[in-house]
Amino acid sequence: MNLHREGYKIIFIATLILVSAIYIFAFFNLAIWLQVLLFAPLLILYVLVVRFFRNPPRYADKTPDGVVSPCDGKVVVIEEVEETEYFKEKRIQISIFMSPLNVHVNRNPISGIVAYFKYHPGKYLVAWHPKSSTENERTTAVIKSDRGVEVLFRQIAGAVARRIRWYIKPTDQVTQGNEMGFIKFGSRVDVFVPVGTDIQVAIGQKVTAAESLLGILK
């Protein structure tokens, strides 16, 4: 299993804790049943931490003018909204909620030039809260395709997720499906596409980063 570099330090600490627990149990010569009782939760937690930072290979959908999902998760919002930070006009918002069990690597929804990027400090409302898109800690990125169409997407921290990482900056040339960031421990990503985009997903649908087609740009 490939592990993401964002998890190396946390996994190292978790491994030290697990190994230390084994030595402590042996030092105090605890009864076997008690060792199992104490060790089992630590082992389960360790497996969950390692699994959280898995980084499976992904291959971007090659549909012409396609917008792929920037993350794994479940579609929770599809609606026409007023985007007030960059476009300042109507856009279709597609929101994807990531549970702690999902892969948390974030990927570019389209290829093109990074036309805009900004980090916003903020609150830590639960990721499905309607105001989390505008009030939580978040990043906003806009990628402009070769034919001039812009797609905006936001990494949004949640009540548990308080570490957003990003690897892009303005003027970068990026490729659809490549890594652009990581959010630790449960969160959400919003994607804003032009009105008239042919939406390819439905609310409640599970999507996979880079491989699930969210819509086709007109």
Question: SS3 of 78, please?
Answer: strand
CA distances from 25 to 29, 36, 149 (A): 6, 10, 60
> In 99-176, at which residue ranges do the beta strands (DSSP E only) sit?
105-107, 112-120, 138-144, 150-157, 164-166, 173-174
CA distance 104 to 185: 8
81 phi and psi angles, rounded to 5 deg:
-135, 170
For residue 157, the SS3 value is strand
Give yes or no: 187 in active site: yes
Return d(Cα 166, Cα 188) in angstroms, integer: 14
Catalytic entry in 95, 132, 187, 212: 187
Cite the active site residues: 187
